[in-house]
Amino acid sequence: MFHPATSPPSLTTLILLTAFSVLSLNMFLPSLEHIALEFEVDYAIANLSIAGYLAITAVLQIIMGPLSDRYGRRPVMLAGLAVFSFASLGCLFAQDIRVFLGFRLLQGTVIAGMALSRTAVRDQYSAQKAASLLGYISMAMAVAPMTGPLFGGILDEVFGWRATFVFFVVGGFLLWWLTWADMGETNKTQSATIRAQFQTYPELLRSRRFWGYSFCLTFSLGAFYVYIAGAALVGGAVFGLSPAQIGAGVGIITCGFAVGSFLSGRFANRVPLTHMVIAGRLVAAIGPLIGLTLLALGLVHPISYFGAITLVGMGNGLTIPSANSGVMSVRPQLAGSAGGLSGAMAVAGGALLTMLAGAVLTAETGAVVLMVLVLACVLCSLVAALYVRWVDIRDPLPN
C-alpha cells in the first residue's frame, strides 16, 4: 500500500470519493450562522461558501474532464484531492471571511472525486455494465446528503464549526493516500496533446445523443433542485411543519433516489440504457401527477404531498446512472470531457431552476406551483430521453 497503484480502483474507493465530494458541499450547512457570527458578516455573505462553491465546481468540471482525457484520471484526481486538503487547512485557520471564502472556493477541486469516479467506471466497462456500477456509486449521493448535515451539526455543537474542517483535512489527506495506493490509471487512450484533443471536440458537440442525454440529466437533477428550493416554504407556510419535520420532508426525495439507484445497480446491466432512462422518467412523472391529483381533490396533507415526491427521487435513481453512462459512451475517447460538460450543464441548470422556483413560489400557491414546477422538469427530461431513443432507432451507430 506504500507503492503507487497500477491496477484499476476498487468500487469501494470510487464510492468513498463520490461520497466525500457530496459531503464537502453540505456537511457544514448547520454551521453557516455560526460562521457569519464569528466573522461578523451577514448570513448572505457566509452563504457564498455554498453558492460560490457550486459555481466553481461547474467550471472545474469543464476543465478537469479534458485534463483527464489528456493526462489521465489518476493525476487529475490526486491533484484535486491535494488542493482540497490544503484548502481545508486554509479554511480551518482563516481569521477573515475573505480568506475563508477564497480557500472555500479552492475546496471545489474535490469535485474530481465525483466526476472522475464516474469516468473511471466507464473507462473499464461496457455502457450497460458501467450504468449498473454507477447505480451503486449513486447511492452514496443519496446517503451523504442525509447524513452529512447531521454529522456536521453534531461536530459544531460539540467542538465548534471549525471541527468540520478538521474532518475535511483528515479525510482529504486519507483519500489522497487511498487514491495513490488503489487508483491506477484507467484512461488507456490519452490524447497526444491538448491541441489534438480539442480538435476532436466538434465530434462530441455535433452528437445528438450527447445533447439528448445532457438535457435529460439537467432537467432530472433540476426537478431535485426545484424541490429542495421550495420544500421549506411549503412545509412551513402550507403545512406548519417544524424545522425537523421539514428536514425529513426534504430528505425523503433522497430516500427514493437511494432505492432507484439500488435498482439501477441490479438491473441496468441487463436493460438497454435508453429503456432504463425512459422508465425512470415515467416513474418520476407519476409522483407529481399523483400529488397534483390529490391536491385537486382537496387532500392537502404532508404525508401524501411529500410521499408523492419520493417517486421523483426513485425515478432519478433509475435514470441518472444510465444517462451518465450514455453521455460518456457517445465518444469514449472523450469520456472525461463529456462527463465534465454534462455535469457543468446540470449544475448551471439547477442553479437557474432554483432561482426560478424562488421567484414564483409564494406561501399562498406554493404547494401547487412547486408540484407543477417539478412535473415540468420531469416532462422536459422525458422529452430529452425520448429524443435519444428516437436517435437510436434512426441511427443505431454512433454519430
Q: Can you give the CATH number for the domain in which 347 is found?
A: 1.20.1250.20
**Does residue 57 surpass a pLDDT of 90?**
no
Same domain, 335 and 211: yes
Q: Exposure string (b/e) for 283-318, b if CB count within 10 Å is 16 or more?
A: bbbebbbbbbebbeeeeeebeebbbbbbbbbbbbbb
Same domain, 133 and 256: no
Is the residue at 36 inside a domain?
Answer: yes
Type of residue numbered 66: P
> CA–CA separation, 194 vs 340, rounded Å?
16
**Torsion sign, CA atoms 384, 59, 183, 11:** negative
Domain range enclosing 212: 201-394
Residue ending a domain, among 123, 155, 182, is 182
Q: What is the DSSP letter of 37?
A: H
- Look at residue 244 in the predicted model and tell me its pLDDT: 63
Is the residue at 163 inside a domain?
Answer: yes
Region for 223 from its dihedrals, namely left if φ exceeds 0, alpha if ψ lies in -120 to 50, beta otherwise: alpha
Cβ atoms of 175 and 16 within 8 Å: the answer is yes
Same domain, 207 and 167: no
Distance of CA 247 to the CA centre of its chain: 19
> CA–CA separation, 3 vs 182, rounded Å?
9
Section 236-261 average pLDDT: 78
Helix, strand or coil for residue 78?
Answer: helix
Decide which of 384 and 131 is more confident. 384
Closest listed residue to residue 280, CA positions, set 134, 65, 111? 134
Total domain count for the chain?
2
Residue ending a domain, among 155, 182, 209, is 182
Cell of 239: 403545512
Ranked by mean pLDDT, which of 123-132, 173-182, 194-203 comes out on top? 173-182
Is the residue at 399 inside a domain?
Answer: no
Same domain, 29 and 162: yes
pTM of the full predicted structure? 0.83
Same domain, 159 and 248: no
Instruction: For cell 487514491, name the residue.
Output: 179
Same domain, 311 and 214: yes
Is the residue at 2 inside a domain?
Answer: no
Cβ atoms of 249 and 241 within 8 Å: the answer is yes
Per residue in 109-118, pLDDT (tens digit) is 998 888 888 8
Same domain, 134 and 55: yes
**Does residue 45 surpass a pLDDT of 70?**
yes
Is the residue at 160 inside a domain?
Answer: yes
Ranked by mean pLDDT, which of 131-135, 184-188, 239-243, 282-286 comes out on top? 282-286
Same domain, 156 and 115: yes
**Does residue 325 surpass a pLDDT of 60?**
yes
Is the residue at 192 inside a domain?
Answer: no
Is the residue at 189 inside a domain?
Answer: no
> CA–CA separation, 47 vs 101, rounded Å?
10
Residue ending a domain, among 182, 217, 242, is 182
Same domain, 240 and 169: no
Same domain, 178 and 213: no
Same domain, 173 and 216: no
Is the residue at 219 inside a domain?
Answer: yes
Same domain, 231 and 292: yes
**Does residue 399 surpass a pLDDT of 60?**
no
